[in-house]
Amino acid sequence: MALIVEDGTGLPDAEAYISVADADAYHAARGNAAWAALTTEAKEAALRLATDYMEAEYGPRWLGNRLTAEQALSWPRGVEGVPEAVRRATAELAVRASAGPLLADQGPAVKQETVGPLSVTYADGARQSVRYAAVDAMLQAAGLFRGGGFIRVVRA
């Protein structure tokens, strides 16, 4: 099934924020051999998973309002189309999604684990989930989130 990429008009059946060709160019420019080794079908699946993660993790935090009530994804919002930072973040998450789940199920935290001669103890309240700091920073730097203690100033 061909990947349906949001084109900035608010497609009701969009599945991803970036095309395979654009993700290929993004990763090629960064020398990412892991992405290049994937089949087109695996890349499409990874882009869908990355977009699903973006919607679940960041969707409630985006600035602005959806362009239409019928659109499948959170972007476009207002008249901005899909920001380049969202497209790049999707590409970053897609390569990670190709290696394993982005939103893994979580069980109880393990405080201490011993395997053979190695022992690891985690701090109380240690994070159980993975935080994608590079993606978070990319989107934060683009100013795409609401709240966070910042006031957006626009000069007229």
**One-letter amino acid identity for 51?**
T
Task: Specify the pLDDT at position 107.
Answer: 61
Inter-residue contact 26 to 18 (CB < 8 Å): yes
Structural tokens at position 50: 């990355």
Sign for the pseudo-dihedral over CA of 44, 50, 56, 60: negative
Number of domains within the chain: 1
Domain boundaries, position 145: 1-156
Task: Specify the pLDDT at position 115.
Answer: 83
Task: Specify the pLDDT at position 104.
Answer: 74
Task: Specify the pLDDT at position 43.
Answer: 98
C-alpha–C-alpha distance, residues 23 and 67, integer Å = 24
Q: Is the pTM of this model over 0.85?
A: no
Residue pLDDT tens, the chain, 156 long: 799 999 999 999 999 999 999 999 999 999 999 999 999 999 999 999 999 999 999 999 999 899 999 999 999 998 778 999 999 999 999 999 999 999 877 666 666 778 888 877 766 665 567 788 899 989 999 989 887 555 555 665
> What is the SS3 assignment for the chain?
CCCCECCCCCCCCCCECCCHHHHHHHHHHCCCHHHHCCCHHHHHHHHHHHHHHHHHHHHHHECCCECCCCCCCCCCECCCCCCHHHHHHHHHHHHHHCCCCCCCCCCCCCCEEEECCEEEECCCCCCCCCCCHHHHHHHHHCCCECCCCCCCCCCC
